[in-house]
Amino acid sequence: MYDTLPATGYAQIEIEHPETESNKEVSMDFVVVGGDAAGMSAASRAKRHQPDIRVTVLEMTRDVSYSACGMPYNIAVPDRDMDDLVVRRASVFQEKQGIEMRLGHQACAIDPRAHRVEGRDPEGRTFSLPYDALLIATGAAPIFPKIPGIDLPGVLVLKNLEDGRKLKQYLADHHVQKAVIIGMGYIALEMCEALAARGVAVDMIKPRPGLLPWMAPDLSDRVREVLEAHEIGVYDGHAIEGISPREKGGLVVASAGASLACDMVLVAVGVAPNSGLAADAGLQLGPGGAIAVDQALHTSNPDIYAAGDCADAFHVVTGERTWLPLALRANRAGWAAADNVCGIDTRLPGIAGTAVFKVFELEVARTGLTSQEAAEAGFSPATATIKTRSRAHAHAGNSPIHVHLVGDRASGRLLGAQMVGREGCAHRINAPAVALHAHMSVADFSQSDLAYAPPFGPVWDPLLTAANQLLKKL
């Protein structure tokens, strides 16, 4: 039988309730599939809430609880150990918290009716594990474009810690002087800087035109200028025909408009949610093929939760489902899932898609919707883009900062923000992010009492200047 959980104004999800469902008890079996951000956050929190709960974590790799976002910066330093990024080892979870950690264990199937997870252990033997509550926290996997030669030696990815070890070892063993990065997203841009720091020349290539298509042109052009100033080759709009080995060693990435020789290829075209396990179990999927969850992280089965990069979320601006793999959301969703497993009603309102990354000396930040996304969501968008200074005009060290805001003509709401500059973007973007969560209008945001001191910004903060310009267009 089915019912619909209230989602406080957001899209709803159908939850299947088996006729044999029984009440959960404290001494339940809580099984977590996936041992990184969402999975280990949930496992630890469940143990804090209910020390008697039996928590088992199935992790197919040998690594848990590490800072994946720190890998490009680790790779930039040759003599730094990749394991420096490990936050807590599996043995600590097991010995100090009583969480049963099963590393090298791959979950292959879920039987929702029998409440069991089937899988293989490190020796290839099958296992069957019962659960009362199950969390799927399988994350996301790198996308491999379907081009000839994508599986050649020297074609690498960077998603998990083992990928980082392999990439770093490849750099050490092969005396890499030139690399080609397929893709121009966050990881690709961060790896440009990391490889350049090691003296590696870099070319970037992708089929679609535009360096950062989601970004306002003035801001995207600034990023391109910095890349080219650091002698990064930017080949956007080049359909890749294939990767082939060179006669004298190395690889060649061929396209209709360029042939790029290199010693290594890094594939960084994006990621896709690891939702196959859920789909095979008959669970509902959402945008991008992510696992559909409600605000309490329930899937379409009442005893199965999903959190992290494998699951969707609600967007606080549109109220609709979206899939945006973000670190903070993964950790927060793991906590919320554990709360609900332990009988503590916890619901997450959603995400604004706030993100920031570094490209050499530039800080690049965004939150909310782009103008195109706003139009597709049914808004009537207006935009304002300004260029001003990061500090008071007479203060030494000030530098240009670009701000782009998106608002809705019909309602006056603030819908999104983007920022690019040498300083003052990474934390400044949090102000419009909070405004989006609060559903503030551009007029209200323009009246915000933001801090001022000459070393940190002009009297009229760049965000306020942009908001005042946007008000004229609304």
Just list the catalytic residues.
69
Cβ(158)–Cβ(189) below 8 Å:
no
Cβ(421)–Cβ(362) below 8 Å:
yes
Residue among 201, 157, 203 at smallest CA distance from 177: 201
Q: Tell me, what DSSP letter sits at residue 283?
A: -
Residue tagged 């619909």 (tokens):
4
DSSP letters along 225-252, please? HHHHHTT-EEEET--EEEEEE-TTSSEE
| Count of all residues that appear for the chain in the document | 474
One-letter amino acid for residue 373 of the chain: E
Gap between the Cα atoms of 386 and 380, Å rounded: 20
Sequence-separated (6 or more) residues with CB below 8 Å from residue 114? none
Residue among 302, 342, 311 at smallest CA distance from 329: 311
* Burial of 233: CB neighbours in 10 Å, binned 0-12, 13-18, 19+: middle
328 in helix, strand or coil? helix
DSSP letters along 142-178, please? E-----TTTTSTTEE--SSHHHHHHHHHHHHHHT--E
In DSSP terms, which residues pair with 285 in a beta bridge?
291
Cβ(296)–Cβ(4) below 8 Å:
no
Cβ(46)–Cβ(150) below 8 Å:
no
421 in helix, strand or coil? strand
In DSSP terms, which residues pair with 304 in a beta bridge?
134
Can you count the helices (H) and strands (E) in the chain? 12, 27
Q: What dihedral angle (degrees, nearest 10) is formed by the CA atoms of 163, 167, 168, 174?
A: 150
Q: What tokens does 26 get?
A: 């404290």
Cβ(66)–Cβ(74) below 8 Å:
no
Gap between the Cα atoms of 330 and 311, Å rounded: 9
Sequence-separated (6 or more) residues with CB below 8 Å from residue 144? 150, 157, 267
Gap between the Cα atoms of 328 and 345, Å rounded: 20
